[in-house]
Amino acid sequence: MQDHAKTILCRHATGTHPPPAPTYRPLSSLQVLSSTTAPPNYDPNMEAFISLGKEEAMVLSEQWINSLIIKVIGKSFSVEYLKTTLQRIWKTNHQIRFIALGRGFYNISVPNEEVREHILSQGPWFIASYMLIVQPWMPGFIPSQAIISKAPVWISLPELPIEFHSLPMFQRIASEIGTFIKTDTKALEQNRVRFARIQVLLDLAKKRKEAIWLGAFKQPIYYEEIPHFCTHCQSIGHRSERCPQKPVDKGETEDGAEEENT
């Protein structure tokens, strides 16, 4: 989604440090809503225009400042199941209010900024082994235009020299590939340094780096179990050739059906 979006799945492994709390402030992006002048392409014969100043946009948005937007990738759950599960894994006694936004997205209201920042910084999370996308609410969010391109992925660094086996170095390496989430604690044990494993939040829409230079040393990077990413609809969960939004050529479908029948 957006760069400030945070994906959350499971608690950080022992020996790692959580990332710093997010500093995203949703009302700083109110310019996507507010405008006191009609746009250049405005057609008064076909369209209407309502002037919306920043102060009015702020009043309209105020109640959603501490909201979160979530989506479970690859599975649909009932609202009641999501409520119960999220309250359990987020360890909160506060009542969670759900509003369905469409296309599997929900707006979740939390009581204050502290709870919101805690949820965003503690992660990632899974729900019944399915990835949970969590991001702060943002003004003007439209589910059909949301791009889900980031996912937690394990990378391995085979035969990484022992002098590079430290949490600070793993974090530096991860920051050049994606966003550091956690490391396999076994990789930090001095008696098991055949390879290092780091989990990073990876942008699947971008080309993956095959190696990283650590000074004069070149280290290959291997990616484990990368989720399917559709370049057509810019979403995780399926390949481009199986995208439900991609029009199917009638001729190809008929040819394929003929082949199967022969």
Per-domain boundaries in the chain: 6-145, 150-227
29-79: pLDDT as tens digits: 677 889 999 999 999 999 999 999 999 998 999 889 889 999 998 789 999
83-139: pLDDT as tens digits: 999 999 998 888 788 999 998 999 999 888 888 877 877 767 889 878 888 888 888
Q: Which residue carries 């009302």 as its tokens?
A: 27
pTM here? 0.60
For residue 203, count other CB atoms closer than 10 A to its CB: 16
Contact 134, 107 (CB under 8 A): no
CATH topology of domain 6-145: Alpha-Beta Plaits (3.30.70)
Contact 155, 170 (CB under 8 A): no
Helix (H) or strand (E) segment spanning residue 154: strand 150-158
